[in-house]
Amino acid sequence: MSRLDELIAKFCPNGVKYRELKDILIIKNGKDYKNLTEGKYPVYGSGGIMTYVSSYVYDKPSVLIPRKGSIDKLYYVEEPFWNVDTIFYTEIDEEKVIPRYVYFCLQKEHLEQYNTAGGVPSLTQKVLNRVKLPVPPLEVQREIVHILDSFTLLTAELTAELTARRKQYEFYRNKLLSQNKKYAMKPLSELGEWSGGKTPSTAERKFWEDGVIPWISSKDMKVSTLEDTQNHITQKAVKEASMKVYPPNSIAIVTRSGILKHTFPVAYVPFETTVNQDIKILVVNHEILPRYAFHVIQGKGKDILLKTKKQGGTVDSLDFQKVLAYKVPVPPKDIQKRLVKVLDNFESICNDLNIGLPAEIKARQKQYEYYRDLLLTFAEKGNTIVTDRQTDRQTDRQTDRQTDRAECN
């Protein structure tokens, strides 16, 4: 019998009670940081850290829950921080629950399922306060946290190794794309046709409900090659809202978003798509290979951000005319093909989820999620609250449960 089994037998012989969030923590709104000076405290938005300021809003362990936008991403923070109005922070009653335990439970809960918005995903305090979590005694919570942290530590080590490899890739990519004297230098405007997009009215359900046409927004621009988008629009939105559909093999960039504080997102789009007003998209001309355009824009991304970012304003943005005027090397097409082959290979090693470190990290993440869901699935005495899917999984794997738990310890 594992230590966790012993603790559950000792402290939870009759099951575990579920409690609503409002009974174990207080959800707090964020606020603007623009009047603060630069400092050491991180400012969190729904997409993560935006900048650093001289003051903090809270200095105890907290789980940050995005209110709008990327609501599928939670943040666990132990150091002092500030948060903006797109993300909630939580004041947790540590006499009832361990903050890290709450973080794992909310991960398992997949809060994106509580989104009720038709357009941009959003969560409300009213809905979140009614979410129920299993709350065993602190001794059991502490052991569960210990087990799950052992999984996250291994994943963190693998991720650090992958980060080092990506830096190596960036170094070689910069070398290959720095032949300024050898090849013709052309402004980005001459690589093809640049266009922007917009957001169909979120009040019109016919524009969103059962939509199948991809619609790119900043929250999709977290990977270098898109496989799909989080939101989709309908054919009615294309016709009635005058949305332009762009062809496959286009290149999308973010020109307005808080993420531009520190990152210039560039993505290759291999499918037909529409975009919102914060995205610009390039359809290359016949002299340019789409993958070369992607690599050269991404490779020059830090310099583009440095030289084209607007100063001031409520939201970080780029001066798009300066972006269009930015010059990049454009070799003949046969040279582009050779460069693309090398750079695609590097990128696969760093980002392909089917091989190498990315594949191992993906496997570890699935393993972690399985044990997390298993360890955090409880039932109240006389009132089972687990879902059918969880019940089926428990039944199918009940014979292996003791072995699995022993391996965790």
258-281 residue pLDDT tens:
888 888 999 999 999 999 999 999
In the chain, the domains with their CATH numbers are: 19-134 (3.90.220.20), 184-330 (3.90.220.20)
What pLDDT, on the 0 to 100 scale, is given for residue 403? 34
Closest by Cα among 1, 27, 3 to 123? 27
Residue 76 vs residue 176, higher pLDDT? 76
Q: How far is it, in rounded angstroms, from Cα 86 to Cα 330?
A: 40
3-state secondary structure of 231: strand
- What is the rounded average pLDDT for all residues in the chain? 84
Share above pLDDT 90 across residues of the chain, in percent, rounded to a whole number: 56
What pLDDT, on the 0 to 100 scale, is given for residue 268? 96
Q: How far is it, in rounded angstroms, from Cα 191 to Cα 408?
A: 53
Distances (CA, A) of 145 to 7, 103, 126, 205, 376: 13, 10, 28, 42, 10
pLDDT per residue as tens digits for the range 333-387: 999 999 899 888 877 766 655 556 666 777 777 776 776 676 677 644 433 333 3
Closest by Cα among 151, 148, 155, 152 to 4? 148
Whole-structure pTM value: 0.55
Among 160-164, 177-181, 237-241, the minimum mean pLDDT is found in 177-181
Residue 38 vs residue 68, higher pLDDT? 38
Q: What does residue 108 show for φ and ψ, rounded to 5 degrees?
A: -65, -30
What pLDDT, on the 0 to 100 scale, is given for residue 91? 97
What pLDDT, on the 0 to 100 scale, is given for residue 271? 96
pLDDT higher than threshold 90 for residue 228: yes
Q: How far is it, in rounded angstroms, from Cα 12 to Cα 24?
A: 19
pLDDT higher than threshold 60 for residue 204: yes
pLDDT per residue as tens digits for the range 290-333: 999 999 999 899 999 999 999 877 788 999 999 999 999 999 99
Share above pLDDT 70 across residues of the chain, in percent, rounded to a whole number: 85
What pLDDT, on the 0 to 100 scale, is given for residue 181? 65
Closest by Cα among 25, 333, 304, 337 to 187? 304
Looking at mean pLDDT, say which of 125-139, 372-386, 395-409 comes out highest.
Answer: 125-139
Q: How far is it, in rounded angstroms, from Cα 179 to Cα 339?
A: 12
